[in-house]
Chain A
């Protein structure tokens, strides 16, 4: 068994005014990930270490941290990939830290609700009339964006959000686009004013790191630019055809 050195950010607001690093030595096998190391520390070395996790298989999106300087799911970062190096594990950047590796994501939760992440119908059809049908092509238009697990890696990788927390942000816009592009949805007129606010899509300057760090293959940068195009064509259409533009 090899041994890894894990350097974890500690911040205990009841005792510390500043965060500091603490090193732990963790024995590991080839199949162990950073989350396993944190669990090992908590069980065997220091029970006070605080972090979030749940599924340990890249589905729940709760174990995100800055691993070796990059936002990652700790359950998907293998220890052997850092062989011979100290692995730094820090709380996700751009969010306030509650304790150790736990960040406060309330800001995103408010933004998520704001974009109305559900199918909006002008008029619900009765159940007896059956389901709203959709072709494979219509499904493909939004499917990748529905894979978002709200893990916040994209917000942590986004310097725009780091500089201006009012920015609606990658995941919220990707999810807004997921519903805008859904053929069953009729809520465009409700979502457009939200995503096209100054701090909506137009705040994005195409850094593109959100799409690089996403563990689920979602491309928020693409969703943001497509929303910009939709907004611009919509505005142009309403100027050229004031009556039938929408």
Chain B
């Protein structure tokens, strides 16, 4: 084994811009980066809820009315939707459901999950707000 290593082998490293070399890599990186917005939004929201339960409801509402917060929420919504739909699609790829002889396609998992998301969200809004 050492015999054939008389000459140095060429070692190559991934460059920091590796994810721009292929559309799939770029999509993957966007999916990973959007999770940051999901996390930041969740943290802000938990902070807001803590204001709500400790009685400073107006402080929570002021926070929500802040133009910066509105802009951030809008961006976070778009990124969260991208993150959610790509994960729903992946879910269909990695956990295909077999019914009889047919196996589910990833887009079917996407549709089912989006429908479930809408139904559950509506139920939660109905229970907490509309009822």
Contact = CB atoms under 8 A, between A and B. Distances in A.
Interface in A82-127: 93-94, 96-99, 104
B72 interface: no
A77 interface: no
A22 interface: no
A97 B93 CA distance: 34
Nearest to B86: A206
A207 B90 CA distance: 10
A98 B9 contact: yes
A97 B9 contact: yes
B65 interface: no
Contact of A11 (B10, B19, B93, B94): B10
Nearest to B11: A96
A29 B76 CA distance: 53
Given A69-B22, A226-B94, A207 B28 contact: yes
B8 A13 contact: yes
B95 A225 contact: yes
A14 B10 CA distance: 12
Give the interface residue-count category, chain B: 20 to 34
Contact residues on A (Cβ < 8 Å of other chain), bracket: 20 to 34
Interface string B83-107: 0000000100111000000000000
A222 B10 CA distance: 32
A96 B94 contact: no
B14 to A, nearest CB: 4
A99 B6 CA distance: 12
A67 interface: no
A58 interface: no
A70 B22 contact: yes
Contacts of A97: 9-10, 12
A203 interface: no
A207 B25 contact: yes
Interface string A225-246: 1100100000000000000000
A222 B96 CA distance: 9
A208 B28 contact: yes
B18 interface: yes
Given A208-B28, A209-B22, A104 B14 contact: no
Interface string B14-37: 100011011011001000100000
B7 interface: yes
A225 B12 CA distance: 28
5 contacts: A13-B8, A159-B18, A205-B32, A221-B94, A229-B95
